[in-house]
Amino acid sequence: MDKKTFTQHISQQYNEDLEHIVTRVMTMGGLVEQQLEAALEALVDGDEQKGEQVVTSDYRINAMEVELDEACTHILARRQPTASDLRLIMAVIKAITDLERIGDEAERVGRMALHLLDEDRRRSPMAEIAALGEQIKGILRGALDAFARMDSEQAVRVAQEDIKADAQYDSIVRNLVKHLEDNPKSVPPVLDIVWATRSLERIGDRSRNICEYVIYFVRGKDVRHISFEQMAEEATGDRR
């Protein structure tokens, strides 16, 4: 993020408060990334320890959400932020909600992975799910990167990646449904796989949400619930 965002207030304390909040968001983002990484290792490699770690570590992300919400509330109460400061606080409040939910989804992937420890991984479309997982990791990383630098063009690129991931998800689910039709006895484990895949897809969607907040901060435009093309235009076109 442009250093000017924090360093030019007349109030040095205000600079520090805002800088602290953004630093903590990035720390929270780092934790969420770790959780996703561990959840994928548990799912794809059948790593039980990683699965347990994911399930027992989510509380740290929840605690950071609460802490950051409180810090943002204090800024609103004490500083009555306006313009880009206000948009920053709004973006942070919304981004941490999505980060917390991404943590929940990662936890769910970890939980499903623990259910699937005894399953033969060669039978399920694990290679495709591993590829989707890598794609989703890249999307989350890209979204956090766009947030850290408040880069609206990067945010658009990440949103585009999420569209590709959604298509990949649809393809995996189609294959799983076909597998269920051919193997009716495999319903419980396949459902777990569907849940885990669904969680990965949701992490992509929530990462895209974070990108939308980046565009809101940078451009002052609300790009939620519009087409990708409109979003790209708002993020890169003339400011007004």
Partner 1 sequence: METDTRDGPVTKANVTMPETQTTPDQRTAGRASTKMSATDLNLWYGETQALHGINLDMPSQEVTALIGPSGCGKSTFLRCLNRMNDLIPQVRIKGGVALDGEDIYDPSVDVVQLRTFVGMVFQKPNPFPKSIYENIAYAPRLHGTGTSRSELDDLVESSLKRAGLWNEVADRLDTPGTELSGGQQQRLCIARAIAVNPEVILMDEPASALDPLATATVEELIHELKDNYTIVIVTHNLQQAARVAGYTAFFHMGQIVEVNDTDTLFTNPAEQRTEDYITGRFG
User: For residues 50-89, which are near partner 1 according to CB under 8 A?
Assistant: 80-87
Kindly tell me which residue out of 30, 188, 220, 237 binds partner 1, with binding defined by CB under 8 A: 220
DSSP annotation of 2: -
3-state secondary structure of 225: coil
The yes or no reply on residue 227 touching partner 1 (CB under 8 A) is no
**Structure-token pair, residue 111:** 């939980």
Counting residues that bind partner 1 (by CB under 8 A) gives 16
Nearer to partner 1, 5 or 57 (CB): 5
The two tokens of residue 147 are 């947030």
Provide the CB-side half-sphere exposure for 65 (13 A, CA): 17
Residue with tokens 């799912």: 43
Nearest Cα neighbor of 87 from 225, 213, 233 is 213
Report in angstroms how near the CB of residue 203 gets to partner 1 at its nearest.
Answer: 30
Query: In angstroms, what is the minimal distance from the CB of 219 to partner 1?
Result: 8
Q: 122 or 239, CB closer to partner 1?
A: 239
By the rule CB under 8 A, 94 interacts with partner 1: no
Query: Least distance in Å: CB of 82 to partner 1?
Result: 4
Taking the C-alpha atoms of residue 50 and residue 46, their distance in angstroms, rounded to an integer, is: 9
Instruction: Report if residue 3 touches partner 1, rule: CB under 8 A.
Output: no
228 makes contact with partner 1 (CB under 8 A):
no
Name the residue among 126, 106, 135 with its Cα closest to residue 46.
126
- By the criterion CB under 8 A, which residues form the site for partner 1? 8-11, 14, 80-87, 220, 239-240
